[in-house]
């Protein structure tokens, strides 16, 4: 009888512990183990986000061929109505004439900008850390709110 009670108590602890949500930021943890395993043989190991303002339903990784020595990786973090894309570069910062807003998160300085094309707004947060350039972006049309600038910054703060 004592073993049965202990078993029930143990199961209850695991169930209640698994259901507890101490998340006050609205961010949902994401297990990046699958993507990390795909990166094991990669030329460099970029940091990856560990939290999102939505539950990630699928994630993908693909290297992008370039004409120079720069290595570019593309990651997509997907839910049914939105995609957060991450491109990483092992090279120089992206230098162009785009007007950006300086932002700071954790101890990192980055640049934020939005571009509009035919009713679609693309939001970018770009920063450089340990020789890797990160471009975190999301797009939304005029009918959906999508991910906000603040949520992009929260995602960037979760990189490990």
Q: What is the pLDDT of residues 100-129, one digit of tens each?
A: 899 999 889 999 999 888 888 899 999 999
**72: CATH:** 2.60.120
Q: Tell whether 6 is covered by a domain.
A: no
pLDDT, tens digit, 9 for 90 and up, residues 11-59 = 222 232 333 333 435 667 776 777 777 777 777 889 999 999 888 998 9
Residue 47 lies in a domain: yes
Residue 21 falls inside a structural domain = no
Contacts of residue 70, Cβ cutoff 8 Å, sequence gap at least 6: 89, 90, 91, 92
CB-CB contact of 61 with 39 (8 Å) = yes
Q: How far is CA 33 from CA 8, 40, 88, 99, in A?
A: 31, 11, 18, 36
Please count the structural domains in the chain: 1
Residue 56 lies inside a defined structural domain of this protein: yes
Residue 11 lies in a domain: no
Q: Does some domain include residue 18? A: no
Q: What is the pTM of this model?
A: 0.75
Domain containing 58 equals 27-157
Does 2 map to a domain? no
Q: Is residue 151 included in any domain, yes or no?
A: yes
């Amino acid at each position: 009888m004592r073993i049965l009670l202990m078993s029930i108590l143990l199961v209850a602890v695991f169930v209640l512990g698994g259901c507890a949500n101490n998340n006050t930021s609205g961010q949902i943890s994401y297990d990046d183990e699958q993507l990390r395993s795909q990166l094991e043989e990669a030329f460099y190991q970029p940091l990856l986000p560990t939290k999102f303002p939505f539950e990630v339903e699928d994630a993908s990784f693909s290297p992008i061929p370039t004409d120079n020595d720069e290595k570019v990786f593309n990651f997509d973090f997907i839910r049914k109505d939105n995609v957060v894309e991450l491109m990483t570069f092992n090279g120089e910062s992206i230098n162009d004439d785009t007007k950006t807003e300086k932002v700071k998160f954790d101890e990192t300085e980055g640049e934020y900008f939005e571009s509009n094309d035919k009713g679609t707004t693309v939001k970018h947060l770009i920063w450089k850390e340990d020789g890797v350039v990160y471009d975190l972006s999301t797009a939304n049309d005029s009918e959906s709110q999508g991910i906000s600038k603040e949520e992009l910054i929260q995602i960037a703060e979760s990189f490990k």
